[in-house]
Structure 1
């Protein structure tokens, strides 16, 4: 693959950085060790400024080009997942119950590789603003960084990010203009009745029949309320009730998630969810409560910047698919794309286990491709002739 020669020359360094991060996965906003490692590498490279403690453990690095100009943001997420790893890799997680099973170690290493190259060459006019973000998996670190003013403070005019993509051929890219990943809300439904002895159901108000009926009814939100030409997912992922064979429980709890690309459709799903809960609660003589946990908005690529990013990626990768089918997964880079135009690209990892699988691992051969594309985005967006 035609990666930047200088970046190809230190591909082994990028792999070593990734393996170091991979061994010591950290969660959410508590990325103290990871952030310190990233900051140390950035200072070794000679970045002009490193700002730490943003969104608790996020950091921003600035690299100035040879002449003044605009500012372009490149983002990498750094957090891991609360799960065990079964890759058997020599650099596997050393911390039980934590694993870099979504490739954020690779995203971070790619942006570090781009930083090293940009510090050495500075073949651009303006400022590369490197955004190393905590808490993509849990907590919406992207939203926190935006609210703390990272895009305004450094006058970032565009933002770009990448995510590793199992199932896409190694080193190839996929993206699409418009929505590329879905909005997400999680919900918890509580149905409360009256507990009692299972031998005397007439003396109790059993929440379980109501919960079973409600789970079936919730399937009609997507199948009978939503426009079938629009994408909507309402998934029930947990049902909890009871603790003994001979006890009718007091409560039943149902948990799940809503996913869509359309704000109006999302609002419809939330409204129908509440209406179905209240209707079933009344029908089964229960009290019904809905607690919705707002998640990430849809990740929406700016069409013009997506075409530009794809053009740049074609200089590096063997193939770029610009008609990717949008995914129902969610991504908190969405907050940055709400604040600034930009694009989100998927980088192929080959035929490997999917992200969030305990056997997933980032293929080190993708690192030079991602780092080269990050670097070329800066050079092309901020040309010296600007």
Structure 2
């Protein structure tokens, strides 16, 4: 007996619903077992298991750490297009109370990386059902996004040459914007940033005879006053934020001989960010020498500027319009940073936002939870972009 047309349509809809439910279930399982940067082994295993039924043409494991790449090949030569999700969670205690609340004390998927992973898994389901006509599609699961280490490790891994893309795409959910709204920007999407710690070493002495020592207090006071003013000499947006300062210890009989100052430095332009860092280093050197201090500078959590490529933007944004999405073209870049920025500094890339609701708790808040409704939206858009380039 041949099923009627409406019956076939119903079966298709039922199958789509089953797939979506599987993705929601996966997202909630990932939410329950978060792993922070550098510890994503079990998360990677869950993703690997989910993809095992899809039969990708090639799988690359341990990419830049616990990273994974799944490759779906077309019938003929063509461009290589990469879509990225993040594996890591945050070292923050979840205080919301979903039925799938984090089971790991002090850790939570409070940035939505669990949802981003589910979207890329959904894209994998689509590609498994229909391979691209040409080129290759790469689905990348990146470790250590939150610390700004993962992208660099992937790019420096020799295995990356196997998946180096002609185009790379990523999204990030954005609380405060209407659910399903797409937030776009040409040129700079998000700032680059870096954490700097300045260590100043002098000489301790008795507090009754501070002249016998070299106390870094005056130097740190000067740096706190002058460093945040350096961005004023640049053309574009830049910001130096003092986040921590420490001098000596709580010993009232001792004049301090060592001090620390930590800053976050950010800018919308990569060249200006580099210039600002150089000027800060010069100012630290100058003040340290005048105060007879030895200085050391260390860096961590380095994020490149997320720069959207014009051709990649045209492809993505034309697809968004064809699908009839609500689109908001943001007049200014975001001040926060994203590790995807390093991909954009190494090749054509495009990052955009996906609204997760105007009343959704902000990212990194302990009550945040990724809206499952966004999974289908993300899959639909990513698949359409993939088909446009590789069909």
Question: Is residue 2:342 matched to residue 1:342?
Answer: no
Give the drift of 1:154. Answer: 4.2
Q: Which stretch shows the higher mean deviation, 85-94 or 120-129?
A: 120-129
Using a 3 Å threshold, how does the CA distance of structure 1 residues 314 and 16 change in structure 2: closer, same or farther?
Answer: farther
Kept in 2: contact 1:29–1:139 (CA 8 A): no
Question: Is residue 2:212 matched to residue 1:203?
Answer: yes
Using a 3 Å threshold, how does the CA distance of structure 1 residues 215 and 347 change in structure 2: closer, same or farther?
Answer: same
Q: Which stretch shows the higher mean deviation, 330-339 or 368-377?
A: 330-339
Using a 3 Å threshold, how does the CA distance of structure 1 residues 340 and 151 change in structure 2: closer, same or farther?
Answer: farther
Taking the aligned partners of 2:125 and 2:166, their CA distance within structure 1 comes to: 22
Among candidates 55, 61, 72, match of residue 63 of structure 1: 72
Among candidates 102, 108, 119, match of residue 110 of structure 1: 119
- What SS does structure 2 have at the residue aligned with 1:71? strand
Taking the aligned partners of 2:49 and 2:209, their CA distance within structure 1 comes to: 67
- What SS does structure 2 have at the residue aligned with 1:132? strand
Kept in 1: contact 2:73–2:132 (CA 8 A): no
Question: Is residue 2:264 matched to residue 1:257?
Answer: yes
Taking the aligned partners of 1:294 and 1:88, their CA distance within structure 2 comes to: 30
Q: Which stretch shows the higher mean deviation, 358-367 or 280-289?
A: 280-289
Taking the aligned partners of 1:270 and 1:109, their CA distance within structure 2 comes to: 37
Give the drift of 1:26. Answer: 1.1
Taking the aligned partners of 1:367 and 1:54, their CA distance within structure 2 comes to: 25
Using a 3 Å threshold, how does the CA distance of structure 1 residues 47 and 234 change in structure 2: closer, same or farther?
Answer: same
CA RMSD in angstroms comes to 2.3
Mapping 1:13-162, distance limit 5 Å: 13-65=22-74, 69-122=78-131, 124-138=133-147, 140-149=149-158, 152-154=161-163, 156-162=165-171
Using a 3 Å threshold, how does the CA distance of structure 1 residues 70 and 283 change in structure 2: closer, same or farther?
Answer: closer
Question: Is residue 2:295 matched to residue 1:288?
Answer: yes
**Superposition TM-score, scaled by structure 2 size:** 0.89
Mapping 1:363-382, distance limit 5 Å: 363-382=371-390
Taking the aligned partners of 2:255 and 2:201, their CA distance within structure 1 comes to: 12
> Please, which runs of 5 or more residues in structure 1 have no aligned partner?
none
Q: Could you report, residue by residue, the CA deviation over 1:54-103 in whole angstroms, capped at 9, with x for unpaired residues?
A: 22211111223466543211111111112211122221211112111111
Taking the aligned partners of 1:174 and 1:74, their CA distance within structure 2 comes to: 17
Taking the aligned partners of 1:297 and 1:57, their CA distance within structure 2 comes to: 21
- What SS does structure 2 have at the residue aligned with 1:215? helix
Taking the aligned partners of 1:294 and 1:56, their CA distance within structure 2 comes to: 16
Q: Which stretch shows the higher mean deviation, 284-293 or 67-76?
A: 284-293
Kept in 1: contact 2:69–2:141 (CA 8 A): yes
Kept in 2: contact 1:182–1:261 (CA 8 A): yes
Query: Number of paired residues?
Result: 377
Taking the aligned partners of 1:264 and 1:68, their CA distance within structure 2 comes to: 36
Taking the aligned partners of 1:368 and 1:198, their CA distance within structure 2 comes to: 65
Kept in 2: contact 1:240–1:253 (CA 8 A): yes
Taking the aligned partners of 1:134 and 1:293, their CA distance within structure 2 comes to: 16
Taking the aligned partners of 1:210 and 1:336, their CA distance within structure 2 comes to: 38
Taking the aligned partners of 1:337 and 1:122, their CA distance within structure 2 comes to: 26
Q: Which residue of 2 aligns with 1:357?
A: 365
Q: Which residue of 1 aligns with 2:9?
A: none
Q: Could you report, residue by residue, the CA deviation over 1:258-297 in whole angstroms, capped at 9, with x for unpaired residues?
A: 1113243223312321232233334444333333448232
Taking the aligned partners of 2:210 and 2:84, their CA distance within structure 1 comes to: 57
Question: Is residue 2:285 matched to residue 1:278?
Answer: yes
**Superposition TM-score, scaled by structure 1 size:** 0.90
Taking the aligned partners of 1:34 and 1:271, their CA distance within structure 2 comes to: 39
